[in-house]
């Protein structure tokens, strides 16, 4: 009985770390994505070109390679990170590129006349962006951001390769302990599905709330 409880406890610990990694990476990635999206909207600027290059590189390379660069590559430069911070950094950088495109597309979808009208009544570009454009763009960006969020939840399984004890890693430890595969993989598949469903419902409610406000 104690062994069963210990096994269940390890799986829930893995699920806990999976959620923490997802939430932290998504929050940091959202900040990165917002700044990158705004930078890309600046015409003929070095910053815009740098932001475009960042998005191209991150979207054009596998997230697993990015994790290896952060965890195994940075020590060559004298920067040594523990597995969990390395997971946060690599996933935040990765998700930031994808979120930036969702945010940029949402901003572009807002009619230009709204920005022009705001500037006509004395607002600066950034005031109009903060008070008028971004609140409306948030509603448009929620669906694609939600898909990215769910994808990030599942991509946390990749950090198991750098020994972060998230859900997949926890199941692998139990498989090596009991020498049984199917029950544990089915268990974590169900846990991923439950977490994805919860996040989808939360994002759906947020989208409805934003739709009522605008």
DSSP conformation letters of the chain:
-HHHHHHHHHHHHHHHHHHHHHHHHHHHHHHHHHHHHHHHTSTT-HHHHHHHHHHHHHHTS-HHHHHHIIIIIGGGGT----HHHHHHHHHHHHHHHHHHHHHHHHHHHS-HHHHHHHHHTT--HHHHIIIIIHHHHHHHHHHHHHHHHHHHHHHGGGGGGGT--SHHHHHHHHHHHH---HHHHHHHHHHHHHHHHHHHHHHHHHHHHHHHH-
Question: Which structural domain, as residue segments, surrounds residue 170?
Answer: 2-213
Q: What's the pLDDT at 213?
A: 60
Model confidence band, residue 118 (pLDDT cutoffs 50, 70, 90):
confident
Q: What is the mean pLDDT of residues 170-186?
A: 89
What predicted TM-score, i.e. pTM, was given to this entire model? Answer: 0.87
For the segment 65-78, what is each residue's pLDDT rounded down to a tens digit?
999 999 999 999 99
Structural domain total, the chain: 1
Tell me the percentage of the chain whose pLDDT exceeds 70.
96
Average pLDDT over residues 153-166: 89
pLDDT at 55 (0 to 100): 95
pLDDT at 214 over 60: no
Comparing 13-22, 41-50, 118-127, 185-194, which segment has the lowest mean pLDDT? 118-127
CATH number of the domain where residue 10 is located: 1.10.3720.10
More reliable by pLDDT, 118 or 63: 63
**In this model, does residue 165 exceed pLDDT 90?**
no
Q: What is the pLDDT of residues 78-100, one digit of tens each?
A: 999 999 999 999 999 999 999 99
């Amino acid at each position: 009985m104690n062994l069963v409880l210990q096994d269940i406890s390890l799986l829930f610990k893995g699920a806990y770390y999976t959620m923490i990694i997802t939430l932290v990476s998504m929050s940091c990635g959202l900040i990165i994505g917002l700044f990158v999206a705004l930078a890309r909207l600046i015409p003929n600027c070095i910053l815009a070109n740098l932001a475009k290059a960042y998005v191209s590189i991150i979207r054009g390379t596998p997230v697993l390679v990015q994790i290896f660069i952060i965890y195994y590559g940075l020590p060559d430069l004298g920067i040594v990170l523990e597995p969990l911070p390395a997971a946060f950094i690599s996933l935040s950088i990765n998700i930031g590129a994808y979120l930036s495109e969702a945010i940029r597309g949402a901003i572009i979808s807002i009619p230009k006349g709204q920005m022009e009208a705001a500037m006509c009544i004395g607002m600066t570009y950034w005031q109009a962006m903060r008070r008028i454009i971004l609140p409306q763009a948030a509603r448009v960006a929620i669906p694609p951001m939600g898909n990215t969020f769910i994808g990030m939840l599942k991509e946390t399984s990749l950090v198991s390769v750098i020994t972060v004890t998230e859900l997949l890693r926890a199941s692998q430890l139990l498989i090596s302990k009991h020498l049984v595969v199917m029950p544990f993989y089915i268990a974590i598949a169900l846990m991923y599905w439950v977490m994805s469903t919860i996040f989808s419902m939360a994002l759906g409610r947020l989208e409805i709330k934003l739709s009522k406000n605008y």
